[in-house]
Amino acid sequence: GNSVTQMEGPVTLSEEAFLTINCTYTATGYPSLFWYVQYPGEGLQLLLKATKADDKGSNKGFEATYRKETTSFHLEKGSVQVSDSAVYFCALDAGGTSYGKLTFGQGTILTVHP
């Protein structure tokens, strides 16, 4: 079946540090890939997405590139801020009969200190 694996957290960084959160997936075919963010006490917000191999999704300084050869979709940001502290979820939509249904990774808690 489909699965998403995120790097173990929590991740603690100082402000302006470089961020990488690893995400790898298992799926048949050509899934769409997503990063969602959940700020404390809030719901889920779409951060970025990529729908085909080599696509780069980007938003708010975050980037992730869809790498089919390594089945990965790592999230990066060059300089994090305290306001980026949140839980980050990698997810895939396998399409086909599962179109629209998301499989989520376990989430990575990010804490950024001033």
Partner 1 sequence: SAVISQKPSRDICQRGTSLTIQCQVDSQVTMMFWYRQQPGQSLTLIATANQGSEATYESGFVIDKFPISRPNLTFSTLTVSNMSPEDSSIYLCSARTGTSGNTIYFGEGSWLTVV
Q: Which of residues 29-48 bind partner 1 (CB under 8 A)?
A: 32, 34, 36, 42-46
> Which residue in 86, 57, 61, 59 sits closest to 74, CA to CA?
57
Assess 54 for contact with partner 1 (CB under 8 A).
no
> Which residue in 57, 44, 23 sits closest to 87, CA to CA?
44
> Which residue in 94, 95, 77, 96 sits closest to 37, CA to CA?
77
Quick note: the x/- pattern for partner 1 over 69-98, rule CB under 8 A, is --------------------x---x-x---
CB of 96 to partner 1, least distance (A): 12
> Which residue in 79, 39, 73, 87 sits closest to 61, CA to CA?
79
Cβ proximity to partner 1, 12 vs 79, nearer residue: 12
Contact footprint for partner 1 (CB under 8 A): 32, 34, 36, 42-46, 49, 51, 89, 93, 95, 99-102, 104-107
